[in-house]
Amino acid sequence: MRDAGIRVTAPRRAIVRVLEEAGDHLDVEEITERARALDPSVHRATVYRTLGLLKGLGLVDELDLLHLEGDRHFYEVRRETEHAHVICLTCRRVLELSGHVMAELRADLEQETGFAVKFLRMEVGGACPDCAGRARRAAADQA
């Protein structure tokens, strides 16, 4: 942020810290709550404005995670590595996938399109192994 000439105030610092330390995807409410624990002067409006700035700088991505949670949007720090959100449409679990599958996809995309891919994020919907197994057992019980 400082590189972009943006003043790093205490509330902004708290918001950035929350995003950096979050292990998963947070919405505005969760970010506000956690940032307030670090700096009580953080307001939801500050969170919205700061997220807008960070998105504009390409530092943070906004996700809808297939709209399974309605209009709730989620935020995460943009990573250099390609990653996919593999989302269970039944229990709403979100798995983060990176590594060779995604690296291969990047290479294939670059070959196919001629683009130098800067970042790659993908969302996939399906049934997780637990939910798929439950559905199979339920179908078997009915047969």
The Cα–Cα gap between 141 and 46 comes to 53
Q: Which residue, chain included where needed, has tokens 């078997």?
A: 140
- Give me the least distance between CB of 89 and Zn ion, in Å please: 8
Is residue 82 close enough to count as binding Zn ion by CB under 5 A? Answer: no
Nearest distance from residue 25's CB to Zn ion, in Å? 6
Answer yes or no whether residue 78 interacts with Zn ion by CB under 5 A: no
Provide, rounded to whole angstroms, the least separation between the CB of residue 88 and Zn ion. 3
Applying CB under 5 A, the site for Zn ion has a residue count of 6
Phi, psi of 123, deg, nearest 5: -120, 130
Q: What angle do CA 66, 69, 70 make, to 5 degrees?
A: 85
Sign of CA pseudo-dihedral 107, 109, 115, 117? negative
Task: Establish if 88 lies at the interface with Zn ion (CB under 5 A).
Answer: yes
**According to the binding rule CB under 5 A, does residue 60 interact with Zn ion?**
no
User: Exactly one of 9, 73, 90, 134 binds Zn ion (CB under 5 A); which one?
Assistant: 90
Q: Which two tokens stand for residue 55?
A: 């998105």
Residue reference for tokens 């205490």: 10
Of the candidates 76, 82, 84, 87, which one interacts with Zn ion according to CB under 5 A? 76
For Zn ion, the closer of residues 16 and 88 by Cβ is 88
128 part of the interface to Zn ion, by CB under 5 A: yes
């809808």: which residue's tokens? 64
Copy the structure tokens of residue 71: 């209009």
Q: Are the C-beta atoms of residues 20 and 14 closer than 8 Å to each other? A: no
Specify the residue, 8 or 101, whose C-beta has the smaller distance to Zn ion. 101
Contact residues toward Zn ion (CB under 5 A) are 76, 88, 90-91, 128, 131
